[in-house]
Amino acid sequence: MRAKSLATGLLVHAVLLVAVIFALYPVLWVIALAFSPGVAPEAHALPVPSGFSLEHFAAVLGRMDGDRWIFGMQLANSSIVAAATATVAIAIATPAAYGLSRFDFVGKRASLSAMLATQMFPGVAASVPLYLLLNALDLLDTRSGLVLVYATSAVPFAMFQLRGAFDAIPKDLEEAAMVDGATRFGAFLRVVLPAARPAIAVTALFAFMTAWNEFALAAAFLTREDLYTLPILLQGYASEHDANLGHFAAGALAVSIPVMALFYVLQRQLISGLTAGGVKG
């Protein structure tokens, strides 16, 4: 019996190890590329750098435009845009998700279908109309314009996610608070929101990631280098003509590390937050 459970245990670890290798292998290649001096190392099976050099990091992270630290400005732009996107998306989606969870109203089904439908329409046709819209609002070449577009596009998914979370919170909780004299909004703020904290954190993380990784719209709407977000910079290193994969890899790591850190911080919420959620049509 013990031998059998030992064997099962070993097997479980073996499968998990294979999965971990599968998950990390491409990332290790990016790391190897980033630390290899000069151009890309030659082909071999193990992701080991061909030497150790920080030249790519120095070139990418130390990028200057005159006396301005352009990488620093672009990092700041990405952070501001992604954080503001997460904030605005949550601010819009949370009350709406609560309304959807607790009330019935005329047009609820239709508006839910419309929200779900936005997730199915490929964005390829929308970039020119969005450009014209931002132009009309005089928000081109601004971080605010980008935030507005990112945040609203994150709202439908966030709303479904949060509605699921609110559905899972018993109504008695806020009703008890309302019996004690709280307004519905007060009960929402003080009782419902704290209970939904994991789901809100995870939803905010998703919104943050959409903004943090988005390239096409940012490249279309921003035409000043001091306003660029980091994916635009990265794309420049991966272009067909003047590719510098070492720079690209170093930049890719710099871009990935903050999101990895957020995942690490939010790892517990990730599981419970997604559970309560569930995207229901």
Partner 1 sequence: MTERAARTAALLAMASLVTLAVPTPASAQETIVVWHAYGESEEAGLLAAVALFERAHPDVHVDLVASPFGAFASRLRNAIPTGHGPDLFIDAHNRLPSFVDASLLEDFGALSPELTADLPPALVGALTYEGTLYGVPLSLKSLALYVSDELAMGRTLPSLEDYAALRRELPDGTYAIAWEVDSTYASVALFHAYGARVLDEEGRFAAATPEGDAALAELARLVADGSVPAEASGDLVRDLFRSGRAVAAISGPWLAPDLPASLHYHVLPLPIVHAADDGLMVPYSTIDAALIPAGSPHPELARELAAFLASPAGSIARATAGHQIVASVSAWHDPGVASDERLVAFHDAALAAMPMPTHPHMDSVFGPMDRAIRKVLRGDATPHDALAEAEHRFVDETRPAPPLRDPTFAVVALMLGLFAALAMVTSRLRDPAVRASLVRSMPAYGWVMHAFVAVGLLVVLPLAVGAMTSLYAGQDLHYVGLANYFDILTNRGGDLLGHGSFWLVLGVTVLWTITNVIFHVGIGIGLALLLHRPTVKLRTLYRILLVVPWAVPSYVTALAWRGMFHRQLGAINAILAVFGVEPVSWFAHFSTAFTANLATNVWLGFPFMMVVTLGALTSIPKDLYEAADVDGASAFQKLTRITLPMLRPALLPAVAMGAVWTFNMFNVVFLVSAGEPDGSTEILVSEAYRWAFTRGHQVGYAAAYAVLIFVILVGLTRALPRERAPGAR
In the complex, minimum distance from the CB of residue 1 to partner 1, in angstroms, rounded to a whole number: 14
What residues from 128 to 187 belong to the interface with partner 1 (CB under 8 A)? 128-133, 135, 140-144, 147-149, 152-153, 155-156, 159, 164, 167-168, 183, 185
Coil/strand/helix, residue 224:
coil
Does the footprint of partner 1 cover residue 96 (CB under 8 A)? Answer: yes
* d(C-alpha 78, C-alpha 17), whole Å: 34
Q: Residue 1 to residues 7, 10, 46: CA-CA distances in angstroms? A: 10, 14, 39
Q: Which amino acid is at 176?
A: A
Task: Give the residue with the Cβ less far from partner 1, 135 or 197.
Answer: 135
52, 105, 172, 180: which one contacts partner 1 (CB under 8 A)?
A: 105
DSSP notation for 56-94? HHHHHHT-EETTEEHHHHHHHHHHHHHHHHHHHHHHHHH
In the complex, minimum distance from the CB of residue 87 to partner 1, in angstroms, rounded to a whole number: 5
> No. of H helices and E strands in the chain?
14, 2
In the complex, minimum distance from the CB of residue 176 to partner 1, in angstroms, rounded to a whole number: 19
Q: Which amino acid is at 256?
A: S
What residues from 35 to 94 belong to the interface with partner 1 (CB under 8 A)? 38-40, 42-45, 47, 76-77, 80-81, 83-84, 87-88, 91-93
In the complex, minimum distance from the CB of residue 224 to partner 1, in angstroms, rounded to a whole number: 6
In the complex, minimum distance from the CB of residue 175 to partner 1, in angstroms, rounded to a whole number: 15
How many residues contact partner 1, by CB under 8 A?
132
What residues from 224 to 263 belong to the interface with partner 1 (CB under 8 A)? 224-226, 231-232, 234-236, 238-245, 248, 252, 255-256, 259-260, 262-263
Does the footprint of partner 1 cover residue 1 (CB under 8 A)? Answer: no
- Nearest residue to 221 via CA among 129, 151, 157, 87: 129
Half-sphere exposure of residue 133: CA atoms within 13 angstroms, side-chain side? 10
Task: Tell me the per-residue interface mask from 8 to 27 with partner 1, x by CB under 8 A, - otherwise.
Answer: -x--xx-xx--xx-xxxxxx
CA 10 to chain centre: 35
C-beta of residue 263 within 8 angstroms of C-beta of residue 206: no
Does the footprint of partner 1 cover residue 104 (CB under 8 A)? Answer: yes
